[in-house]
Structure formats: C-alpha cells, structure tokens
Structure 1
Amino acid sequence: MSSNIQTVDAHWVKRLLPARPAQAHKGYFGHVLVIGGDYGYGGAAIMAAQSAAHCGAGLVSLYTRQEHISAMLSRQPEVMANHQHFTEMLNRATVVLAGPGLGLSSWGKALLVQVLSCDKPLLLDADALNYLASLPATDQQRMQRDNRVLTPHPGEAARLLGCTTPAIEHDRIAAVQQLQLQFGGTVLLKGLASLIAGPKQQLARLNCGNPGMASAGMGDVLSGIIAALLAQGLSSFHAAALGGWLHGSAADAVAAKRGERGLLATAILPPLQKLLNGKPVK
C-alpha cells in the first residue's frame, strides 16, 4: 500500500474553503443531522451538534432522547432538536453523523439500521463504530462506500479489525490503511499524529494536537467539525483531514494560552471560526 503521506496545514483551508459567494444562503452549505444521546449520554450528541454549527454547516439538526432537547436548545438554540419523526429528519439531511452517546440498546440499533441503509454522506463514530464491528463481514462489505468517514480511536479500530489495541499502535499506518480497505470511504485513526486514509490510497498525517486533548468529548467535537465540512461539499478525505487539523490546531491555540491540563472539549470552539476563515489565532 501507499505510504506517501501528505501533511495537513493552514494552506488546506484556503484551498478547500474558498470565499463564499455573495448570493449564498444557508441551503448552500448543507444540513447536518446528528443522531445520538441515549438516556444519560446527551452531552456527546449535544457537543457534536454544537461543533457542527460552529464550523459552517448551513443547518444542524439533532435527533436524540426527549430529555436532552431542552439542554440542546439552551446550549445552542441554532440547532433544531427533536425526538420524533426520525425518517423525515433523515430524508431532509444532506449529511448524517451517527454515534455520539448513541448506545447499543434497541433504540440506537434501530436508528443505525436506517442510517446504514441510506446513501447520504455519513460519519460514524463511537457506538456506531462498535455496531459496525459487530456485523458479519458480508454486511460490512455490502455497506462500503466512498462518501463515508469513520473516526475510531485505537480501541475501536481494534474491534473493527478483530485484533488488539497494541497491534493497532504497533503499526498505525498499516492499521489505518487496512481499515480503509476493509470498510471503504475515509478513516481517521485518532491518537498521537492522527492518520487519515482515504480512497485511491490517499494518506495524511496531522502534526497538531496535544496531550490536553485526552479529555471527554473531544471526539464528539471532532465528529461535528468533519460533518460540517462534508455538508459544505468537501470529499470524505478532505473533510476528515482538514477537520482533524482544525480540531488539533484549535486545541493547540487554547493550550498555548491556558495550558494543557483542564482543557475541555467545548473550549476549542471559539478559535475555530478564525481558523476556518484562514485568520491567525492569537
């Protein structure tokens, strides 16, 4: 397999996110549907939806349990939150993000069955990855497609490949390429110097991020960023690579000011707008 690794940097922003046309309206920039937040796990889905709203998607919706609706609306009123009419919400969306806080109860599994059968650009994270790992290999192969992004951490990657976490960490390049080959689309393997493998043997590495990012919710925020970029028309590979760079660079900007310890996932949202628009973060 190819090991010609691209390095993501600030130039990717200007290349992939040109100035918006003067006549633009919210319909130009896609509609992200976040699906997640089973009982007791609303925060993950809320943070994913919030970060998608902060990263340029024209519209963001959240399908979650009823008990999380008020929290979502008070946290980010721009997000349209609902616990009913799932099929209608799925049909309206242009990009689907499934997994944050979803759980693997009958509720979450039933939603994933519908999600995996649709042909929209799709990001799978967290419990959606665990569900995918539990499927027979024939079903996994049948569901392969290029407009999908998987964002596993090493433990999730090990479950997907049926191996151990140390095996993933021993050769991360081989692991991310094997994941891409087996599941299709683009795979972002999280960790130190996160790796992104896409269709046509595309491969990129991130040289940003810091140990302060080892805190709850960081992966949920990353998923929302990538989904927003998918909604704005980027390919699965470019959305994952640029989204990972924006995520790590925003975290580095916050850590440079405040330090790494106590770095919260939502604390990286304020610098994102500047980074998205190619402006320096001070």
Structure 2
Amino acid sequence: MSRAELPGALYTAEQSRALDRTAIEQFGIPGFRLMQRAGHAAFVELVAHWPAVRRLTVLCGSGNNGGDGLIVAGLARQQGIDVQVLVICDDFVERLNGEALSAWQWAQAVGVSISRWRPGVELQGEVVVDALLGTGLSGEVRGDSAELIRQVNRSPRPVMAVDIPSGLCADTGCVLGVAVRAELTLTFIALKQGLLTHEGVDHCGQVLFDNLMLPDEIYEEVSLSAFRTDSDDLAKLLPPRRRSAHKGLFGHVMVIGGDHGMGGAALMAAEAAARSGAGLVSLATRPEHVTAALTRAPEVMVAGVNSGQDLQPLLERPDVLVVGPGLGNSAWADQLLQQALNSGLPLVLDADALNLLLRRQQAGPLAHDWVLTPHPGEAARMLGRETPHLQQDRFGAVRELQARYGGTVVLKGAGSLSFDGDAMHLCNAGNPGMACGGMGDVLSGIIGALRAQRLSAVDAARVGVYAHARAADLCAADQGERGLLATDLIARVRRVLSGIE
C-alpha cells in the first residue's frame, strides 16, 4: 500500500497507543526503532512534496511526537538542509525521556541544536514541520503553544504535520482552542478518525498513512473504532448484474414528498433513485406537480395525492419508501408520513420527515427498519441540543441518535457517519461544493434505490453516502466546486455505482 492509499480501519487515539504498546511489548519491536521509521517516513514525504527545500523549521514538543520531529531534523541536517528546531520550554531536554530522549541524543550527535521559541522569533524555514503536541492532548492549547500555532497559521510557509496537526483532537476532529493548518499530514500506525471529519478536514490538508512496517497480527490484537468506506466496498456490495436480469430484481422505490413550492426536492430524489439502479421508481406528490414531474422524468410513475387516504392504496406495490424531500410540515405532510409509518415497509426518512418525526416523538419500537439522514442542524434538534455542541463529538452524537431512534442513522457533514448500532462507517469523500440545496434529496433517493436492490440498511446508507460524495468530487474535478448543483451529481452517481468512475 502506498502512503496515499488510506486503510479502511479507523482508530481513536487510545486505540492507536494500544497498537503502539502491542508492537513494543508483545512483538518486541523497540520503540525507538518505530520512532526512527516515523521520522524517516516523514522526511521522505517532506522531500517528495518540497524537493527544493533548503531551510527547514521543525517545531518539537517534549513527547514522542517531538521525538519524531527530532529524527526529521537530524535527517535533514545530514542532507545538508539548514534546520531550525524550535521548542517552547526552557527545560526541554530535562523533560525528555524514553524514545524522545534517544531521538534528541541521536539528533544532537548529527549536529542538530534547539532554540527556545518566544514571541518575535521568526520562522526561518521554507517549510514548517509540526511535531509539537501529537495525539496526547487533553484540553485546549494555551500559552506559548497557542501563540506559536497562531504564528504558524499566519505564516505563508507550507506546513507538514507529523501524525496529527497540533491542537486537533484525534478522536473528534475538533480544534482544541487553536490548531495548526497543515498542507500535508502523515499519520502513523493507525489512521485517526478525527483527521477525516468535522474540523479535521480543514486542518490536515492531504492525509497520508504509514503503518511503520507493523505486521498484520498486531492489528488483530486491538479493536478498531470505525470503518472508512471506499470504492472497494462498493464493488463488493454491487457486483455485475446477471445478463438475464429484469426490473423486478432491483426493487420499487416510492418517493413521498413535494408540498406546494417544493416539488423539485421530491423529483430530484426520484430521479436519483432511478439513476442509482432501482427497477421501478414512483413518486407521490401534490397533484399540481404531476405534469412537471412527468415532463422532467418520464421513467418515474407519478401520482397526485391530496391526503393520506389517497396515498394508502399506492403503498401496496413499493418495496422501499423515501419520505421527506420537500414534504413540508402541513397536515398533508403529516398524513403522508403516518401512512408511510403504518406501511411496515423499509423507510428512508430525510428533511421534513425528520422534523415531523420529532414532533410526533415516535421512535424506538417503531424504528425497526429505517434509515434516518439528518444534517447536523436536524440531528441537534432530534437530540435537543445546539448544533455546535453536537458537532464537538459527531461520533458520540450518531451513537446517541441511533440509540434513541433505532434503525440506521446517517449524520451528514464533512466526514459523514453511518451507524446501525453495531458498526460505524465514515465517508471521507466529498467537497465544499456540496453545501447547496437539494444534495440531501439526491442522497435519500440513492439510499432508497440501494435499499430496494436488497442491500442492508447500513450498507445502503454507507455506500449511498460514498457514491453521492464521490460523484460530487468527480463533478468538482471537471468544473470546480463553486456553483455545483445537486442535479449535477445524478448522472455521475450512475457511473460511480456502475464501477466506471
């Protein structure tokens, strides 16, 4: 595996430390050897990304992360690169112990010296290496560390973070007061889950991984926290279709929604379901929207419904219901949701359906087979919290949502999470161009179509989230992120799910 190929397993900081201990204590790999490997890997990537660098600034703390930085500094010194090593305490050497002390002794032997950073000290390097705080941080960054990080972020110099940008929580992706904004992050042994979600995506830049040559057996000894969904998962769950296949094998999705003025949301979900491989797609919406829907998507069977009573007989044919796109909060919407809940069919609930569900306070026993797809604001309302508070621990939030509402929950956002009470899945595809109206409607249709094709709820959720995000990345690569529309994704999703892109 190249360093650019990220592994599928994600870990917390404590699990990462457990892997490190297992390697040392059970498999007899010296800790200093691991530190040397980490420093060497970081230096190789540094030179690969900035081959012309002749001056380097390395920020070192007194822990093992700083030890990795000292190895980088020593290797740079050996290659004739001018190195400035900055530390933030007068008794830096006295604080060192274990592998970090060994790293200092080695670096000193090859000519590395340290300088005490204070406000006003300039960063002399063309590139900055951040090895200041590591994953052991347990509170907000304060004092000189915070001031140094702010200076680094104000500087135009590119930054490479060793293992994790200083000030970023490895478990949640939250900034602990202030955090380094890196252009490149090389993380070791375990891919930390916080690098790929929430504010982590703004601070890590390109994320690379190196397992420091640890044998696979070490990873069998320590539990992981989550799985990262990628194209390999898609290929396993959506094999090529039989040549004798017919539409009855791929399910019937019905989208329910589109109140006055919001017919487009339901239609986007229906179109997305059709392009995602559902055998049949129907749409139950306001009668006023029928003509426009048939004109836009003649493949979709469209029915106008004025009440829940009108909807009831239509629920005999579908295999999966997608409820919520453009549904609104009227009595009409409430009646349609009630019929969907009474149907006993697998459900995908999005947008207004979630708000109505919260108003009804229906959860638990009712939620035997549904996928809920809240964005952070909706999720916060469902848990009775403020959105910023919920975002501080997205992993904890999606677990709480699933415990309260059952089924499978997708918490959308940077590093979208899917959780069914058993396995946690993270998608690190996607881009800021997706911050526009209609994206969630398209996603709900994709998930509904995959559910109709007999994927489990959690597999439909995680693969749908990945295909949606991957399609957005392909669109952005063609024409940029700004101005990306939800409907731009629909044709690209088809290619992603077919294994073409």
TM-score of the superposition, structure 1-length normalised?
0.95
Opposite residue 324 of structure 2, the aligned amino acid is G
Picking from 15, 35, 43, the partner of 2:264 is 43
The one-character-per-residue Cα deviations of 1:206-228 (angstroms, maximum 9, x if unpaired) are 11000000011000000000000
Opposite residue 351 of structure 2, the aligned amino acid is A
Aligned residues: 275
Larger Rg: 2
Give the corresponding residue for 1:181. Answer: 403
Give the corresponding residue for 1:148. Answer: 370
In structure 2, C-alpha distance between the alignment counterparts of 1:204 and 1:122, rounded to whole Å: 20
Give the corresponding residue for 1:33. Answer: 254
Picking from 65, 80, 99, the partner of 2:324 is 99
Give the corresponding residue for 1:124. Answer: 349
Structure 1 spans left out of the alignment, 5+ residues? none
In structure 1, C-alpha distance between the alignment counterparts of 2:445 and 2:367, rounded to whole Å: 22
Opposite residue 31 of structure 1, the aligned amino acid is H
Q: Secondary structure at the match of 1:47?
A: helix
In structure 1, C-alpha distance between the alignment counterparts of 2:413 and 2:364, rounded to whole Å: 26
Q: Secondary structure at the match of 2:397?
A: helix
Mapping of residues 256-267 of structure 1, within 5 Å: 256-267=477-488
In structure 2, C-alpha distance between the alignment counterparts of 1:97 and 1:249, rounded to whole Å: 22
The one-character-per-residue Cα deviations of 1:84-112 (angstroms, maximum 9, x if unpaired) are 44112211110000001101111010111
Picking from 287, 306, 314, the partner of 1:89 is 314
Structure 2 spans left out of the alignment, 5+ residues? 1-222
Instruction: Decide whether the 8 Å contact of 1:49 with 1:61 is kept in 2.
Output: yes
TM-score of the superposition, structure 2-length normalised?
0.54
Instruction: Decide whether the 8 Å contact of 2:430 with 2:469 is kept in 1.
Output: yes
User: Post-superposition shift, 1:269?
Assistant: 1.4
Opposite residue 253 of structure 1, the aligned amino acid is L
Instruction: Decide whether the 8 Å contact of 1:33 with 1:89 is kept in 2.
Output: no
In structure 2, C-alpha distance between the alignment counterparts of 1:277 and 1:106, rounded to whole Å: 40
Opposite residue 243 of structure 1, the aligned amino acid is G
Mapping of residues 63-74 of structure 1, within 5 Å: 63-74=284-295
Instruction: Decide whether the 8 Å contact of 2:311 with 2:339 is kept in 1.
Output: no
Displacement over 2 Å in runs of 4+:
none
Larger deviation, residues 238-247 vs 117-126: 117-126
Picking from 6, 14, 20, the partner of 2:241 is 20
Opposite residue 170 of structure 1, the aligned amino acid is Q
The one-character-per-residue Cα deviations of 1:246-275 (angstroms, maximum 9, x if unpaired) are 000000000011000000000011212221
Give the corresponding residue for 1:164. Answer: 386
**Percent identical across equivalent pairs?**
52
Give the corresponding residue for 2:334. Answer: 109
CA RMSD in angstroms comes to: 1.2
The one-character-per-residue Cα deviations of 1:124-178 (angstroms, maximum 9, x if unpaired) are 0001000111123xx4223121x21000001110111111111210100000011
Give the corresponding residue for 1:274. Answer: 495
The one-character-per-residue Cα deviations of 1:21-60 (angstroms, maximum 9, x if unpaired) are 2221111100000000001110100100010000000000
